[in-house]
Amino acid sequence: MIEICALASGSNGNCYYIGNQHDAILIDAGISARLTLTRMASRGLAPEKLKAIFITHEHFDHARGARVLSKKLGIAVYYTRPTWNAIPSSDRPLLSQFFEPGDAISSGSFTVHAILKNHDAAQPCSFRVEHNGRQVGVFTDIGEPCDKIKTSLQQCHAVFLETNYDEKMLWEGSYPFPLKKRVASEVGHLSNVQALELVQQHAAPHLECIFLSHLSKENNTPEKALETFTPLQQRCRIKLTSRSEAGEVYLLK
């Protein structure tokens, strides 16, 4: 059994918990250490089970809490070298470990697969986390899904999937035009429709739960994201994540 929980998901911070009876990891640490531990406690998740933190890329909303959380819990933070180099030296944890895209990293009873992705960062990676034949994907901050992401999605039983923006809201909204272009670019973010099409075309029948993740506060709404995924509601569970509180703990059996 795997426990999964979005502790934070949005442009103000991202942090995803994946654990079992004995071990746990975090994907990203984009909120403060104090808030991370508070939100874990609110869902009955034990910090002493945490074995490692894996950072997808260097942007503030994914990496800012890693140094303090690593020091407080005495656990390593895993980066690619280019990601680590792109982080200010004052924010780098003392317990830093390194991986290459394509690596399979053992952490407790989990195997963490690092997948290079398209995003405007030094060497951004998504992750697919495996335990006892069950697999959880964390696929956010993706401008355009590459073949590696598509293949990884086919293996997942649950996925945190970026549904960052509604296209009409983005293009008619208040963002400056260059920022709109960046969000919608091949190294920006996935729209609701792009995320839906990715699942429809590449997910396997065993995918049982999709967590709609990294929703933009300015260019999306939970209602629009859920409405977009209406065609899949008979196929699997569709759940929202939140930028302001920890989500439910979902049990992947």
How many independent structural domains does the chain possess? 1
| C-alpha dist (Å) from residue 208 to 17, 154, 159 | 18, 12, 9
Dihedral class, residue 175 (left if φ above 0, else alpha if ψ from -120 to 50, else beta): beta
Q: What is the pLDDT along the chain (253 residues), one digit of tens a residue?
A: 999 999 999 999 999 999 999 999 999 999 999 999 999 999 999 999 999 999 999 999 999 999 999 999 999 999 999 999 999 999 999 999 999 999 999 999 999 999 999 999 999 999 999 999 999 999 999 999 999 999 999 999 999 999 999 999 999 999 999 999 999 999 999 999 999 999 999 999 999 999 999 999 999 999 999 999 999 999 999 999 999 999 999 999 8
CATH number at residue 156: 3.60.15.10
Per the structure, the complete domain to which residue 32 belongs is given by 2-252
Q: List the one residue out of 225, 214, 242, 191 whose CA is nearest residue 61.
A: 214
- Other CB atoms closer than 10 Å to residue 46's CB: what's the count? 10
Q: Compute the radius of gyration of the chain from its Cα atoms.
A: 17
| C-alpha dist (Å) from residue 36 to 15, 71, 116, 127, 253 | 8, 14, 26, 20, 25
Q: How far apart are CA 136 and CA 134, in angstroms?
A: 7
- Other CB atoms closer than 10 Å to residue 42's CB: what's the count? 12
Give Cα 221 distance to the centre of its chain. Answer: 18
pTM above 0.95, yes or no: yes
Reduced to 3 states, what is the DSSP secondary structure of residue 196? helix
**H/E element holding 107?**
strand 104-107
Q: Residue written as tokens 């919608």?
A: 184
